[in-house]
Structure 1
Amino acid sequence: MTERDVDNLDIFFDAARRQVPDPSPDFMQRVLDDALAEQRRLAGRKAPRRAGPGRLRQFVAAIGGWPAVAGLATASVAGLWIGVNPPSAVSMTAEAYLNSGADAYLVDLAPDFQFDVAEG
């Protein structure tokens, strides 16, 4: 295409943009009739009754809304992280408070308990 062809096409596109077709009066009357019929049909119906808020909504409202849920989620994730991978300061503080050493896991708290399954 040459520059002249593109200019000619722009003239046609501009003319098409300026031309706004109006819908026919017959079409507008049919749309209006359908809308009025639908309004009359729905006018006799009662609004559906809601059963009330669900359990999740009640729980969220009871604890203080979504900001409280976000705080609980953050605290849960932080607690899980610290429990799985505790920083050395937390481990040392726990050992000092509980007076336990590194060999605490070797103590048998239930010496009579058997872990094997008896056959029978």
Structure 2
Amino acid sequence: MNDKRFDRETMAREDEAHIDALLREARANAPEPTAGFMARVMDDALEVQRGFALPRAERQSRAGVIETLRTLFGGWGAVGGLVTAGLAGLWIGFMGAQQVDTVASGYWQQSENLGTVNLLPEVETVAYVDEGGF
């Protein structure tokens, strides 16, 4: 049993040594790119970079007030949350705290209906009854 393990470890070390030797040889004999090739690569890179950057004046003229606020607050999700909170505050301020409490108490006091939840619409319930599903 130990001989097999020793042979595997020895083979693994020999393989690693062989790979290391190949990589050293490849590093030593690495071909240098020609000047013409490097010039073509740089021309291509500059052409691609020209497409990324827009002129500063054009960027400022496109961004309106809404777009600026959206980026300032961190996206449409954050703006939607702020609008919702603002409208809720406006409604509570306009209605008054007592009236909001009166409206909300209608939802909280109907606890007897919490135990009966109809998850299937009436049409699908009738379809299950006709097929003998119940």
TM-score by length of 2: 0.37
Q: Which has the larger radius of gyration?
A: 1
More helix per residue: 2
